[in-house]
């Protein structure tokens, strides 16, 4: 038995993306070259850019290809910070539940570039505390270089009130960046409707290839680059464009994501967990991504759970970083009011387009004995 419930970490490539990518892998030509093979590569990239722009709700010229969501986040956060700092703004405002691909560059800006970072907390349900943000802006708007809040959280799936964040930012001419990596194609997300300044996306979360991301950056806005070289992508991201990965990304973005089906299975899993383990509880509520269920199992350790599930052929995740073999409690769950112990007793199951009801049922069948053994191990 092999059940993969870690689709939020990465999900299988869809067949159309594999086919499109495979065809492009045998095509010759650097897209920056002026000869015929080069222009042919450039053409497929520009067609892919147009097709992606239609899915994202932005202009093709607003798309900057990067090598990952992490790179898009770093480029946006550092670039917007440096732009703000050049006019005397050195404060970076982010939510306390951001992915490490925002938390860590923000901390780097503190350590190396004179930034002050302010974290905005969440409710116990994992939703950004908008009144805390509004109160901060009312006092310090003139000092803020950038606000960055994720569209939905990768550990709990809770969708964040981005439209309200943008309304606050725009009222004070503060650029707003949004990490949309988990939301793209799963819940409605349009760059132009949201009036964002910048948005990060990644292909491997939606059935595209690993190692290709997008930074959508508002038309006309220029920010300092992280990579310098050939001047590609508005001189913000130098480097030969990865034509096969870009074509694969575009193919995956054109495919429909089966939101209703995944939503249904997510709800069945969440209800099943609290039915078979009565003292377990689900973290986060309100509007959520279709695929994510984060549950706390009191009296267990999440890394023990992970290994016990793995022994049963079930792949899940803690969602939090593991450093030098020591599992740290999730910063997301801590921000939602968990203590160290309960945060360390939590696990994320993430479903995808290929997840079946049989898999959910098999997980629920395995759950009581896994929890029993994890509890016994915890008492030793």
Residue 170 CB neighbours (<10 A): 14
Closer residue to ligand PLP, CB minimum distance, 99 or 338: 99
Q: Which of 11, 24, 68, 75 contacts ligand PLP by CB under 6 A?
A: 68
Q: Which of 94, 149, 150, 206 contacts ligand PLP by CB under 6 A?
A: 150
Maximal C-alpha separation, the chain: 69
Do strands 3-4 and 63-66 pair parallel, antiparallel, or not at all (unpaired)? unpaired
On the CB side of 78, CA atoms within 13 Å amount to 20
The stretch near ligand PLP (CB under 6 A) out of 38-46, 119-127, 176-184, 190-198 is 176-184
Torsion angle of C-alpha atoms 119, 124, 128, 132, degrees rounded to 10: -60
DSSP string of 345-361, one letter each residue:
TEEEEE--TT--HHHHH
Closer residue to ligand PLP, CB minimum distance, 120 or 280: 120
Supply the minimum distance, in Å, between the C-beta of residue 68 and ligand PLP: 3
Closer residue to ligand PLP, CB minimum distance, 69 or 352: 69
Supply the minimum distance, in Å, between the C-beta of residue 154 and ligand PLP: 3
Residue 173 CB neighbours (<10 A): 9
The stretch near ligand PLP (CB under 6 A) out of 68-76, 110-118, 262-270, 324-332 is 68-76
Q: Indicate whether 202 belongs to the interface with ligand PLP (CB under 6 A).
A: yes
Supply the minimum distance, in Å, between the C-beta of residue 69 and ligand PLP: 3
Q: Cα–chain-centroid distance for residue 319?
A: 12
Q: Indicate whether 197 belongs to the interface with ligand PLP (CB under 6 A).
A: no
Catalytic residue among 322, 356, 357, 369: 322
* Interacting residues of 18 by C-beta distance below 8 A, sequence separation 6+: 248
Q: Which of 6, 55, 179, 233 contacts ligand PLP by CB under 6 A?
A: 179
Q: How far apart are CA 379 and CA 145, in angstroms?
A: 49
What are the residues binding ligand PLP (CB under 6 A)?
68-70, 73, 99, 101, 150, 154, 179, 181-182, 202, 213
Active site residues: 322
């Amino acid at each position: 038995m092999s059940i993969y419930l870690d689709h939020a970490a990465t999900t299988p490539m869809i067949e159309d993306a594999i086919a499109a990518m495979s065809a492009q892998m045998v095509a010759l030509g650097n897209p920056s070259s002026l000869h015929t093979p080069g222009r042919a590569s450039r053409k497929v990239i520009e067609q892919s850019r147009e097709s992606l722009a239609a899915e994202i709700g932005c202009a093709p010229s607003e798309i900057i290809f990067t090598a990952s969501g992490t790179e898009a986040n770093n480029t946006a956060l550092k670039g917007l910070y440096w732009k703000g700092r050049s006019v005397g703004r050195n404060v970076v405002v982010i939510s306390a539940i951001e992915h490490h691909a925002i938390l860590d560059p923000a901390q780097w800006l503190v350590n190396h570039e004179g930034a002050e970072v302010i974290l905005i907390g969440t409710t116990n349900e994992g939703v950004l505390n908008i009144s805390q943000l509004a109160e901060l802006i009312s006092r310090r708007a003139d000092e803020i270089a950038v606000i960055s809040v994720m569209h939905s959280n990768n550990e709990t799936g809770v969708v964040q009130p981005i439209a309200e964040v943008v309304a606050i930012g725009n009222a004070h001419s503060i650029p707003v960046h949004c990490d949309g990596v988990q939301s793209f194609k799963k819940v409605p997300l349009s760059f132009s409707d949201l009036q964002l300044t910048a948005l990060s996306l990644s292909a491997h979360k939606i059935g595209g290839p690993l190692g290709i991301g997008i930074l959508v950056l508002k038309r006309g806005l220029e920010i300092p680059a992280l990579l310098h070289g050939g001047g590609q992508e508005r001189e913000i991201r130098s480097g030969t464009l990865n034509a096969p990965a870009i074509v694969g990304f575009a193919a995956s973005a054109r495919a429909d994501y089966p939101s209703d089906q995944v939503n249904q299975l997510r709800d069945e899993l969440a209800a099943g967990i609290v039915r078979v383990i009565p003292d377990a509880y689900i973290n986060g509520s309100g509007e959520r991504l279709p695929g994510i269920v984060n549950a706390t199992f009191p009296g267990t350790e999440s890394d023990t759970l992970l290994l016990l599930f793995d022994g049963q052929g079930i792949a899940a995740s803690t969602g939090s970083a593991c450093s030098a073999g020591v599992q740290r409690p999730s910063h997301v769950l801590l921000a939602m009011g968990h203590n160290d112990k309960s945060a360390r007793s939590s696990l994320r199951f993430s479903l995808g387009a290929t997840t079946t009801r049989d898999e959910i049922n098999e997980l629920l069948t395995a759950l009581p004995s896994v929890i029993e053994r994890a509890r016994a191990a915890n008492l030793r």
